[in-house]
Amino acid sequence: MLTEYSSLITLIALTAILAFSFYAVLIAGQLSLAQVGLASLAAFTSSLVVPAEPLFGFIPPLLIGIVFGMCVGIIAAFILGLPVIRLRGVFLAIATLAFGEMVRIFLINQSWTNGAQGMSFAKLVGIEIAWIALAVVAFWFWRLSGSRMGRAFAAIREDELAATTMGIDVPRYRMASFVIAGAVAGLYGVLLAYFSRFADPNEFSFTAAVDGLVTAVVGGVTFFVGPVLGSIFLSVLPEVQRVVGIDAGWIRPTISGVLLLVVILFLPGGLSGLIPRRRSAKRLIVDPSERPDLPALPAPGTELVRLQGLGKSYGGVHAVRSVDLTVAAGEVLGLIGPNGAGKTTLVNMVTALTTPSTGRGTVLGIPLNDSTRAHRLAQAGVARTFQQIKLFNRLSALENVLVGGYRITHDTLLRRLVFLPSARRFEREAVAMASAQLIRVGLGDKAANAAGDLSYGDQRRLEIARALASHPSMLVLDEPAAGMNHVEAGRLSELIRSLAADGIAVLVIEHNVRMMLATCDRIMVLNFGEVIASGTPADIARDPKVLEAYLGSSGSDADADAAAALAAEDLAEATARSVGEHERGVSASGDGANESDDTQPEGDR
Amino acid sequence: MRRKLLSAAVCGSALLLAITGCSTATDTGTTADGGLTGTGSGADCVIDSAIPIGASFSLTGAAAQYGASQKNALELAVDDLNKVGGVTYELTVEDDATDPKQAIQVFDTLIASGASIIVGPTLSNTAKQTNPIAQDAQVPVLGVSNTAAGITEIGDYIFRDSLTEDAVIPQTVKAAVDTLGIKKVVVMYSNDDAFTESGYQAFSAALQDQNVEVADTLTFSKSDTDFRALLNKAKQSDADAIVVSGLIDAAVPLVSQAREIGIDTPIIGGNGFNSPALLTGAGQAAEGVIVGAAWNSASDNEQNVKFIADYTAAYDGAPDQFSAQAYAGMQIIDQAVRAQCSGEREDIKAGLGDITDVPTVLGDVSLNENRDAVHDALVQIVADGQFTILK
Amino acid sequence: MQLFLDGIFLGSIYALFAIGFTLVFGILDRLNLAHAAVFTAGALVGIEIVTRLGVPIWLLIPMVLVLGAVLGILIERIAFRPLAGRHDAHFAGLISSIAFGAIVLSVLQAMYGADTRRFPADIFPRTRVEILGATVSLLQVVILIVSVSLMIVLTWLVAKSKLGRGMRTIAENPHAAAVLGLNVGRISSTTFALSSALGAVAGVLFTLNVNAASLGIGHAVELKALAVIVVGGMGSLPGALIGGLILGVAEVLAVNYIGSSWRDMVAFGLLFLILILRPQGLFGARKTREV
């Protein structure tokens, strides 16, 4: 049996390695079709360096080929990545596809490859080497999946912007996944050539790239055994048909096509989705002694944010005009104003998601300008939530918070590869930190639930827990109470107060004016991009300009509610209806485009 | 937890393989050692068991149309030979899906199932990956369509009855120069195919031998179908003829489009053009196309006439060179088996080594010391909708 | 001039394929890789209809349109609709359409075998026309006219008609479209039907033009069409036409001035450059994704 199927078994391993190369980019949410082009480059160039005899008498030729091929893959992937890494989705797929075709045409036109005649290679790869190589690759991805780097990839796949605000340098990680994929592709190219003893550039065509992609997706890209399962499924399928006695010819590809369709349509997670797994492999760690010692927050009263004349205009429309603002450690600063007043634009500037057009600003010592990138600011200690919730929906609640801890945790991939005890210790510390935050926002019992399955209010709280996990000096909350009833809002208010008491500076945008008046140390009111009032909650509640602004706003029910809250002397009598319901009603109706857009100008009326 | 799952997955897949493996293992034991030797020799040879013949052709995928012709002809040949008596063959045709990886697996299966000889594969570049496997397992292979250089060099178990382009093209070029007085040509070939590229190399060597000037060399892709831009460029060179190394897929559109844009010079093609599709597809435009080939459908060779009639009756279409070479391949194998009166691999290998002037549909075929085919090539010209010998 | 016209005609074929391709992408944000199979099916079934029934070309076109539309609806129902709402709909749609295309091709092989087929020589008059000192065939002129008018009609349809408004709403925001009471399912079916009908007719015209149809023709054009829709701007109908023409002319110029071996390098190099320098393509408006 082994001799009859030795090629099949070897090819299963090789195809799985190719699929891992696709897996490496897919786990970071990228669709690259350059893999076979990279493999082709590695295979053909390796023929130039692989010696016939062991080097120095003991280094096997294949090892030289593999190392060289992986280096070629890495370098080529890096060079390709420089221009294409900023492309997304289908655009990235097509650009990389074009690259693959360019490699193929280039190699066909080279005389050293014999063009279409192809090249012969020595037979150096058999079952054992192929499966050892696969085992090494699979091991790498297994250890990657639980490491900080693996979580960063998952975060980027789920939501790039949110990942950035966790301090993850998205372009760097995207490039890392590209380069890892390049190394694996190079490995595949060399192994395939030295297994099949022959290669011509046409073997590394668009069709081959699509086959590799299909293998990876059929196997599933959320679990590291996916590529292996995909490869087994697709490699064994023709053989099974042969054994079962289905005639060679058109019927076989038809059956394969139907089965492929069935798998794609009915198994969303691919074949590896069939393997029962808990959503989160980790339990909460509640023992406080497991938590690491964290650096102290800035002393209360330290000025963390200073904005001078900061403004933003979009093609002549001033979303924010000349705002002066300071935020100190330990204080809660509220930002209110009617819909479209420029609140979100302002906090987007403070968190470096939007570049200011005018004025100066410094956040935690980092100046806000063209070159300030959001993840730098996040690493300095700014954490935020979003008006439109941006959780990593397919990850568990705990995993979401673990990603949030990116800033204060260590990268554990290398340690995990060699099973260093410190890897485990660091992991436990990270989980302990994350558990503490989950419990703090009251989601301790939902740690294993997928974030996307949580209720609206729970999702809001989870976002806060995730932001807190980075141990921020400053926390920016964009409408944290939206969708909460007044009991929940009350609890949120307490939470915000306790955070400030810990020494965190909290900048909060909220429509629930009643809650804001009760929570904030200071409140700033924005209208039409300008600060119209600023002061203690008591001052703001009495300021007629503020009421006027809300009443004058043609905006939403929420604005009307805010006005009502302000107008009512007795805060308890203010609107009893849940603000949240209105919020959700608003975003589903015509005004939704504006509501749902965090970085676009708000001033469009 | 995960580790357990991983091992479960690995075990599960190993089990799956074992099951599929076992189920075939049971029906492989048909060739007991020595069971395929018989008594007598030549026409009197009698072998009791049927001799298992494996074939690996591209029945689906890009090369499917060639593989389909080969399969048809091979089945026809086996039927015909089984009627002769004394020796019977049991043919298994497998599909490599035009994918070398599939072909490797097909070869493994055929070898394990005890095939005495493997016919195929369809494409030369596939042969370069599969034939070493047969060589290692000491199973003879007879290529019936591999024309690229380096196939039979793989080892002493590898034979072919397909003439290489080197054997056909020099004659073609010489005949064309002699009869038409060609002095200047434009060469066109698809540079992403092993067969057509080796054809190009043969053409360019032959043209040099005949002192023909090459005004321009143009390449295209084997998947191309619109050649107008290239042809317009070729037209500018004002050459006496256009020399094309391409597959029949390219030949028909290329010839029709050349005539369409007003190129009236002769077009000279290699083996790839030798297909009835050229006549039916290009119609009037094919007139005057010169085709060097290993097989002439118009040959009055008795076997050939019968083959064409039988094939056309059985498959509702005229055979092409791929079918003729596949049919001849089976005739050659039969000769080799009967010579030693044995269907054992080693004996077939020895028999193939002695093939000399065996009458086949291709004419009298010999296999030389390099295990390559030797037989007369023909130079044909399309006249009145027929391939006729260029005199 | 001959060169230029050659390029234009070559490009109009690419455009014909790409217009259907880009229609689905522009409106539904899905890359339908089964389009190549529809293209092939149009050609092969068209040949069968003509050889069996002897229908003239003007009658064949509507029949092929219907065939394409039916295939398009099947593609939408089988390969795309079940994926709606899935987070990986993008990847999965690519794969399921590839699988669907593979099934269509194997069924075609079962029906008609793997041989290259062609239309009877007399189905379309092989008239030659002299234009500006260059000779072109009547068929090429017809193909160019068809491409241009299709582009205009479709652009009008998408911009002005009720169906087009529905399409654009879906393109903007599928959820909002559903809230507004649009029948999203029917509109996407229609889009696929329209796109595939065009693809099938493109297959017929292509086959007439080059006098050969094999199972692989769609695949060969598909890659070029991808280049075309990117160059022209994903989802832009005029872009698909102009992109096709640009690619055609670039290829012809490459053949004449660089060398035919590097012709495809020009196509993909151009594609690559455009993606790097102007990802939205020459005529595409960049979709601003909400963040």
Predicted confidence (pLDDT) at residue B1 exceeds the cutoff of 60: no
Q: What is the mean pLDDT of residues A194-204?
A: 92
CB contacts, 8 Å: A1 with chain B: 18, 21-22, 25
Residue in C6, C114, C212 nearest the CB of B225: C212
Predicted confidence (pLDDT) at residue B359 exceeds the cutoff of 60: yes
List the B363-367 sheet strands across, edge first.
B358-360, B363-367, B373-374
Are residues C251 and B218, on separate chains, in Cβ contact within 8 Å?
no
Tens of pLDDT, residues A438-456? 999 989 898 888 898 898 8
Q: How far apart are CA C225 and CA A503, in angstroms?
A: 59
Are residues A197 and B132, on separate chains, in Cβ contact within 8 Å?
yes
Q: What is the mean pLDDT of residues A265-271?
A: 86
pLDDT value at residue A124: 92
Identify the helix (H) or strand (E) that includes residue A243: helix A226-244
pLDDT value at residue A555: 55
DSSP single-letter state for residue B341? T
Q: Percentage of chain A surpassing pLDDT 90?
A: 48
| Interchain contact B97–A (C-beta under 8 A) | yes
Tens of pLDDT, residues A353-363? 999 999 999 99
Average pLDDT, chain A: 86
DSSP single-letter state for residue C213? B
Higher pLDDT, A496 or B38: A496
Q: Give the minimum alpha-carbon distance from B129 to chain A in angstroms, rounded to a whole number.
A: 5
Q: How far apart are CA A441 and CA A459, in angstroms?
A: 11
Q: How far apart are CA A260 and CA C99, in angstroms?
A: 6
Q: For residue B170, which of B203, B147, B138 has the smallest C-alpha distance?
A: B203
Predicted confidence (pLDDT) at residue A173 exceeds the cutoff of 60: yes
Residue in C96, C179, C291 nearest the CB of A261: C96
DSSP single-letter state for residue A296? P
Predicted confidence (pLDDT) at residue A75 exceeds the cutoff of 50: yes
Amino acid making up residue A349: M
Q: Give the minimum alpha-carbon distance from B70 to chain A in angstroms, rounded to a whole number.
A: 13
Q: Percentage of chain B surpassing pLDDT 90?
A: 55
pLDDT value at residue A58: 82
Side-chain-side CA neighbours of residue A104 (13 Å): 28
Q: What is the mean pLDDT of residues A48-60?
A: 85
Nearest CA in chain A to C268: A98
Exposed e or buried b per residue across A247-269, where buried means at least 16 C-beta atoms within 10 angstroms of its C-beta: ebbbbbbbbbbebbbebbbeeeb
ipTM of the complex: 0.90
| Interchain contact A116–B (C-beta under 8 A) | yes
Q: How far apart are CA B330 and CA B365, in angstroms?
A: 12
Q: For residue A53, which of A124, A128, A130, A132 has the smallest C-alpha distance?
A: A124
Which residues make Cβ contacts (< 8 Å) with residue A171, sequence separation at least 6? A85, A86
CB contacts, 8 Å: C3 with chain B: 229, 232
Average pLDDT, chain C: 85
Identify the helix (H) or strand (E) that includes residue C172: helix C162-172
pLDDT value at residue A566: 67
Tens of pLDDT, residues B152-177? 999 999 999 999 888 889 989 999 99
Interface contacts A/B by beta carbons within 8 Å? 128
Residue in A84, A108, A388 nearest the CB of C276: A84
Mean pLDDT lowest among A157-161, A589-593, B385-389, C159-163: A589-593
Is residue A73 a contact partner of residue A37, using CB atoms and an 8 Å limit?
no
Q: What is the mean pLDDT of residues C144-168?
A: 85
CB contacts, 8 Å: C211 with chain B: 252-253, 256-257, 281-282
Predicted confidence (pLDDT) at residue B275 exceeds the cutoff of 90: no
**Structure tokens belonging to residue C270:** 């151009």
Mean pLDDT lowest among A78-82, B363-367, C107-111, C222-226: C222-226
**Structure tokens belonging to residue C152:** 């205009």
Is residue B127 a contact partner of residue B195, using CB atoms and an 8 Å limit?
no
| pLDDT level of residue A583 (50, 70, 90 thresholds) | very low
| pLDDT level of residue A171 (50, 70, 90 thresholds) | very high
Mean pLDDT lowest among A329-333, A465-469, B138-142, B374-378: B374-378
Predicted confidence (pLDDT) at residue B4 exceeds the cutoff of 70: no
Q: What is the mean pLDDT of residues A473-485?
A: 90
Q: For residue B71, which of B329, B268, B257 has the smallest C-alpha distance?
A: B329
Task: Select the residue from C111, C118, C126, C144 to test the B interface by mutation, using most B Cβ atoms within 10 A.
Answer: C118
Q: How far apart are CA C32 and CA C24, in angstroms?
A: 7
pLDDT value at residue B20: 42
Q: What is the mean pLDDT of residues C213-222?
A: 87
CB contacts, 8 Å: A101 with chain C: 223, 264, 268
Integer CA distances (angstroms), C267 to A101, C231, C247, C272, in order? 10, 10, 6, 9
pLDDT value at residue A1: 54
Is residue A380 a contact partner of residue A364, using CB atoms and an 8 Å limit?
yes
CB contacts, 8 Å: B284 with chain C: 121
Average pLDDT, chain B: 87
| pLDDT level of residue A8 (50, 70, 90 thresholds) | very high
pLDDT value at residue A333: 94
Burial group, residue B66, by CB count within 10 angstroms (0-12, 13-18, 19+): buried
What subunits touch chain B, counting only 3 or more CB pairs under 8 A? A, C
Residue in B10, B93, B197 nearest the CB of A115: B197
Predicted confidence (pLDDT) at residue B259 exceeds the cutoff of 50: yes
Integer CA distances (angstroms), C237 to A474, C15, C33, C153, C229, in order? 48, 9, 18, 10, 9
Q: Percentage of chain A surpassing pLDDT 70?
A: 90
**Structure tokens belonging to residue A604:** 């469009």
Q: What is the mean pLDDT of residues B315-329?
A: 92
A13 Cα distance to chain centroid: 29
Tens of pLDDT, residues A503-517? 999 999 988 888 898
| pLDDT level of residue B73 (50, 70, 90 thresholds) | very high
Query: What's the maximum distance between 2 C-alpha atoms anywhere in chain B?
Result: 80
pTM: 0.89
Q: What is the mean pLDDT of residues A174-189?
A: 96
Side-chain-side CA neighbours of residue A159 (13 Å): 23
Predicted confidence (pLDDT) at residue A367 exceeds the cutoff of 80: yes
Is residue A456 a contact partner of residue A388, using CB atoms and an 8 Å limit?
no
Residues 304-323 of B with CB under 8 A from A: none
Integer CA distances (angstroms), B271 to B65, B190, B245, B382, C116, in order? 15, 14, 8, 14, 17
Predicted confidence (pLDDT) at residue C79 exceeds the cutoff of 50: yes
Predicted confidence (pLDDT) at residue C143 exceeds the cutoff of 50: yes
| pLDDT level of residue C67 (50, 70, 90 thresholds) | very high
**Structure tokens belonging to residue B183:** 């002095």
Q: How far apart are CA A536 and CA A523, in angstroms?
A: 6
Predicted confidence (pLDDT) at residue C214 exceeds the cutoff of 70: yes
Q: For residue C205, which of B62, A9, C197 has the smallest C-alpha distance?
A: C197
Tens of pLDDT, residues C222-233? 888 888 888 888
C183 φ, ψ (degrees, to nearest 5) = -85, 90
pLDDT value at residue B18: 43
Are residues B60 and A117, on separate chains, in Cβ contact within 8 Å?
no
pLDDT value at residue C150: 83
Based on DSSP, count helices (H) and strands (E) in chain B, helices before strands. Answer: 12, 15
Q: Which residues pair with C197 in a beta bridge?
A: none
Computed on alpha carbons and rounded to an integer, the radius of gyration of chain B in Å comes to 23
The helix/strand/coil state of A268 is coil
